[in-house]
Structure 1
Amino acid sequence: MIICCGEALMDMIPVQLPKGGTGFVPHTGGAIFNTAVALGRLGVPAGMISGVSQDAFGQKLAETLSANTVDTGLLIRSSHLTTLAIVHLVDGHATYAFYDEGSAGRSITPKDLPDLPDSTSALYFGGISLVSLPAADAYSDLCAKAAGQYPVMIDPNIRPSFITDAAAYRARLDRMLGQADIVKVSDEDLAWITGGAGSLEDQAAVLQAKGARFVIITRGSEGAMALCDGAVAHVSAKRATVVDTVGAGDTFNAGVLAHLQQSKRLDKAALGQMSAQDLAGALAYGARVAAVTVSRAGANPPWVHEL
């Protein structure tokens, strides 16, 4: 079972009202939540560690995970409120404003974390859950303890407007990136982390020097690339009519993990023997499932029978 560790929240999606103006409709979301749902829909055993409220939104989040075959037994339930992400769409591109102070997701501590089940095959981290304390320290501690035994994938999915202490966040992220087997970043994330000097290959080398074996870079319509041991593999994006980009990267990540799991390569020994080109099939599958997500509104990844 792949354990997705991080935020579950409600995306408030803008809609045009019949009499004019804009309203916001709540949809389940969050980068890590979206990846867990996508894994479930792709037929991969998945579970989620997250702080989830007992309020109506939190109940909806738990119900949605269950409906998508994601194990909810590791959720940390509390009376704190659910995080809200106000989504702004410009030409289909999403930006976010988060209402997260004192939320259920943000409030978990290292002592709240459950033990990992024997069925654990890999851990996936990222998103805004790596930014705010105390939850960020909880996930950092879990990553440090698990990385020696299980494959770890991280997608920081950086939201600069959400970061209030950049130095502390960079230090925490650097530690976690050094413990990861696979780091996936957008080209924008990569520039934020490294300062943007040099080519994408030069910037990826900075991340690999921290300890990651594979660095995956996504570039929207220009496709994705995987880098390992000085070699690069490129995969083209799949053609799609874009409705919006909400959940696209999260679905791509699920596709990568699903392909590795189903090809029996999602373990530390197998990953250690793989090349950049060996990862190309996983990237292509990630691009395929992401293309479905961008073709419809919101974070709505495909079921495996839709592919």
Structure 2
Amino acid sequence: MLLCCGEALIDMIPSEVATGGFGYVPHSGGAIFNTAIALGRLGQKVKMLTGLSTDLFGQQLEKSLLDSNVGTSLSIRSDRPTTMAFVQLSNGHATYTFYDENSAGRMLTEADLPSLPGDVEALYFGGISLAVEPCADAYAALLHREARTRTIMIDPNIRPGFIRDEARYRKRLDAMIGDADIVKVSDEDLDWIDKSERSLELKATALLALGPKLVVVTRGKDGAAAYFADGSSVSVEGSPVAVIDTVGAGDTFNAGFLASLSDQRLIDKASVANLSKHAVEAALTYGAKVAAITVSRAGANPPWKSELAA
């Protein structure tokens, strides 16, 4: 069982209406939500731990999860509102205005966290849920609580606009990275974390010094590389594809990477501590393949496993 821990929200996407002008269409989304959806579609046994509202948008999110075979029994329900992200598009580039105060997702606290069943082998964290409080502290507490016995993967997916206290955010993130087994960052994330002029490889090595067994760095169309604590590394090229948009690309890559490790029966904590280059290369390749399908169509629309066999 894989457990995705973090935000599920509604993206309000502008759409032209017949009477002129435009309206907003609600789409289920969120970085961690997207990864959970992708894992479910890739045939993995997966659940999502998030704060779900009982309002109509929370019901929409839950239906979207269930429709993609993602379990919701570990999510925490409340009558607080669902987080909303209104999207403004300009020449294909999206900017967001978030409405997140007192939301079901943001107000999650450590006291709300459930006990996890024994079949949960790996937990995945990241996204804006690591930047906004109090839920950021709740997810950090969950990570530290489970890190001794279960595999931890984290993708901070950094959005500087959400960070109100950078020193506090960095301290929490460093501690979470220190207890993680696998850290995935984009090249942009890594440059934000480490603002020096060092190479990406040296910056990844500095992250490894905090404690993780593996650091994965994605570079968009240029592929991805993984760095091991022993100083070795492995990389794969990006998959050539006609890009429609990149929404959900990194989230889907993470799902493919985790799904590959799971399919190789290497997702448990002991196995992750001793991953071979061959196993990691296979996971990187699968992640890139899955992400390539997502960017070839509009929105965060991860593929089903049957599409990869086609």
1:224-266 CA distance string (max 9 Å, x none)? 1111121221111112211111111100000000000010000
Task: Provide the residue aligned with 1:131 in structure 2.
Answer: 131
The 5-angstrom pairing of residues 217-236 of structure 1 reads: 217-228=217-228, 229-236=230-237
1:17-69 CA distance string (max 9 Å, x none)? 45654433210000001100100000000001100101100000011111111
Q: Tell me if the contact between 2:58 and 2:82 (Cα under 8 Å) persists in the aligned partners.
A: yes
Unaligned runs of 5+ in 1: none
Q: Tell me if the contact between 2:183 and 2:212 (Cα under 8 Å) persists in the aligned partners.
A: yes
Q: Tell me if the contact between 2:183 and 2:216 (Cα under 8 Å) persists in the aligned partners.
A: yes
- Mapped to 1, the partners of 2:158 and 2:171 lie a distance apart of 14
Task: Provide the residue aligned with 2:184 in structure 1.
Answer: 184
User: Which shows bigger deviation, 178-187 or 237-246?
Assistant: 237-246
Q: CA deviation at 1:90?
A: 4.8
Secondary structure of 2:114's match? Answer: coil
- Mapped to 1, the partners of 2:139 and 2:222 lie a distance apart of 32
Distance 1:270 1:51, change over 3 A: same
Task: Provide the residue aligned with 1:279 in structure 2.
Answer: 280
Task: Provide the residue aligned with 1:241 in structure 2.
Answer: 242
2:195 is equivalent to residue 195 of structure 1? yes
2:68 is equivalent to residue 38 of structure 1? no
Distance 1:296 1:138, change over 3 A: same
Q: Tell me if the contact between 1:39 and 1:46 (Cα under 8 Å) persists in the aligned partners.
A: yes
Secondary structure of 2:36's match? Answer: helix
Task: Provide the residue aligned with 2:107 in structure 1.
Answer: 107
- Mapped to 2, the partners of 1:18 and 1:199 lie a distance apart of 51
Secondary structure of 2:298's match? Answer: coil
Secondary structure of 1:38's match? Answer: helix
Q: CA deviation at 1:164?
A: 1.0
Q: CA deviation at 1:278?
A: 3.1
The 5-angstrom pairing of residues 4-153 of structure 1 reads: 4-18=4-18, 21-153=21-153
Q: Tell me if the contact between 2:6 and 2:50 (Cα under 8 Å) persists in the aligned partners.
A: yes
TM-score (norm 1): 0.96
Task: Provide the residue aligned with 2:259 in structure 1.
Answer: 258
Task: Provide the residue aligned with 1:205 in structure 2.
Answer: 205
Q: Tell me if the contact between 2:121 and 2:269 (Cα under 8 Å) persists in the aligned partners.
A: no
Letter in 2 for 1:244: D
Q: Tell me if the contact between 1:105 and 1:135 (Cα under 8 Å) persists in the aligned partners.
A: yes
- What is the percent sequence identity of the aligned residues? 57
2:5 is equivalent to residue 2 of structure 1? no
- Mapped to 1, the partners of 2:95 and 2:205 lie a distance apart of 28
Q: CA deviation at 1:88?
A: 3.7
Aligned length: 307
Unaligned runs of 5+ in 2: none
Q: CA deviation at 1:104?
A: 0.4
Secondary structure of 2:153's match? Answer: strand
Q: Tell me if the contact between 2:261 and 2:279 (Cα under 8 Å) persists in the aligned partners.
A: no
Distance 1:180 1:93, change over 3 A: farther
TM-score (norm 2): 0.95
1:127-168 CA distance string (max 9 Å, x none)? 011111111111000000101100100000011111111111
- Mapped to 2, the partners of 1:140 and 1:134 lie a distance apart of 10
Q: Tell me if the contact between 1:92 and 1:243 (Cα under 8 Å) persists in the aligned partners.
A: no
